[in-house]
């Protein structure tokens, strides 16, 4: 599933490409992708003729503000992609479920092979009732700057294993399986260390590792794994996977100490760490 760096990369691309553009037509080919609407006609009616006024990210959600106080909500799910196309003559991927054409030319296409992602339109005042988790998101690690002491206080209030806590969207928004492993390696901390057991120095290391890892991942336009299902707005794969220190590197040499990276199970999911560098 795309995490904060991937969604933030797409947000920045959308900010350059679609903000101020007016929607001319909407074509719906996959009803599951707009499942919150009664039918394709309702979805189209809420969008056609509207101008994209703003774009922001809330955790792993993209929120496109429209004229008339409506919001187009996009969640990429496991394999969703938002792709820019020049127009109808560009080849259409077989997993394309929604095509938005703008009056100034160009298209925005929603492609989703596994169909866990979705798009829907709602009023701004109905947003949190439609997506309750948005009302309970934790702090944004790129946008919400805080002191180390405040971060330490938040950790102490939630005595939980560190990887589990970093992936808890109610604690911190946007981090998933990939970046929790990379952050913990950079901080030199094990996945199962309790959050209220950290020293002041370890708290500082963890906060710095979180901000620096995510910032660097955005700089490299996110991570595309072996399936290459994550792509940016222009259809290009990310570049940060080449910088991964532990994620999906089981048995390979740690780039810091040359001991083998190991894989563990954490809440039913795979985690990766260097047992020599992380304590």
Segment 28-49, tens digit of pLDDT: 999 999 999 999 999 999 999 9
Q: Does some domain include residue 141?
A: no
The arithmetic mean of pLDDT across residues 163-183, rounded, is: 98
Domain count of the fold of the chain? 2
**Same-domain status, 156 and 51:** no
> What is the DSSP code string of 113-147?
SS---EEEEEEGGGHHHHSGGGGG--B-TTT----
pLDDT exceeds 90 at position 215? yes
Span 110-119, pLDDT tens digits:
999 999 999 9
Q: Does some domain include residue 143?
A: no
**Same-domain status, 64 and 166:** no
**Same-domain status, 182 and 249:** yes
End residue of a domain, out of 81, 111, 136: 136
**Same-domain status, 219 and 247:** yes
**Same-domain status, 155 and 184:** yes
pLDDT exceeds 90 at position 1? no
End residue of a domain, out of 76, 106, 136: 136
**Same-domain status, 167 and 68:** no
Span 48-70, pLDDT tens digits:
999 999 999 999 999 999 998 99
**Strand duo 61-66 + 107-111: pairing:** unpaired
Average pLDDT score, the chain:
97
* Domain containing residue 218: 148-273
Q: Are 169 and 137 in contact (CB under 8 A)?
A: yes
**Same-domain status, 183 and 203:** yes
Q: Does some domain include residue 229?
A: yes
**Same-domain status, 199 and 82:** no
The CATH number for 237's domain is 1.10.8.50
Span 250-262, pLDDT tens digits:
999 999 999 999 9
Cα 240 from Cα 225, distance rounded (Å):
10
207: left (phi over 0), alpha (psi -120 to 50) or beta: alpha
**Same-domain status, 172 and 118:** no
Q: What six digits make up the tokens of 116?
A: 């866990």
Q: Give catalytic residues, as residue numbers.
A: 2-3, 60, 269
**Same-domain status, 119 and 238:** no
**Same-domain status, 167 and 116:** no
**Same-domain status, 46 and 81:** yes
pLDDT at 206: 98
Q: Are 175 and 191 in contact (CB under 8 A)?
A: no
Q: Does some domain include residue 14?
A: yes
User: pTM value?
Assistant: 0.96
The CATH number for 83's domain is 3.20.190.10
The arithmetic mean of pLDDT across residues 195-216, rounded, is: 98
pLDDT at 273: 98
Question: How distant is the alpha carbon of residue 221 from its chain centre?
Answer: 12
């Amino acid at each position: 599933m795309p995490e904060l760096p991937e969604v933030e990369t797409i947000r920045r691309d959308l900010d350059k490409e679609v903000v101020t553009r007016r929607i001319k037509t909407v074509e719906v080919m996959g009803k599951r992708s707009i499942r919150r609407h009664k039918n394709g006609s309702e979805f189209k009616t809420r969008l056609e003729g509207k101008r994209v006024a703003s774009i922001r990210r809330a955790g792993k959600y993209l929120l496109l503000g429209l004229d008339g106080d409506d919001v187009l909500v996009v969640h990429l799910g496991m394999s969703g992609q938002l792709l820019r196309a020049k127009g109808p003559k560009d080849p259409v991927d077989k997993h394309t479920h929604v095509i938005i054409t703008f009056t100034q030319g160009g298209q925005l296409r929603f492609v989703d092979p596994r169909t866990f992602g979705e798009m829907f339109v709602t009023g701004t005042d109905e947003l949190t009732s439609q997506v309750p988790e948005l009302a309970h998101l934790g702090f944004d690690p790129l946008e919400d700057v805080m002191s180390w002491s405040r971060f330490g206080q938040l950790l102490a209030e939630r005595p939980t294993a560190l990887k589990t806590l970093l992936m808890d969207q109610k604690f911190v928004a946007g981090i998933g399986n990939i970046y929790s492993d990379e952050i913990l390696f950079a901080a030199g901390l094990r996945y199962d260390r309790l959050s209220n057991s950290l020293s002041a120095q370890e708290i500082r290391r963890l906060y710095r590792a979180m901000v620096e890892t995510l910032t660097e991942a955005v700089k490299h336009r996110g991570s595309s794994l072996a399936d290459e299902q994550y792509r940016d707005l222009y259809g290009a794969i990310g570049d940060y996977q080449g910088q991964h220190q532990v994620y999906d590197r089981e048995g390979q040499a740690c780039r810091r100490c040359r001991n083998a990276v190991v894989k563990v199970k954490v809440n039913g999911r795979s985690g990766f760490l260097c047992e020599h560098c992380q304590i």
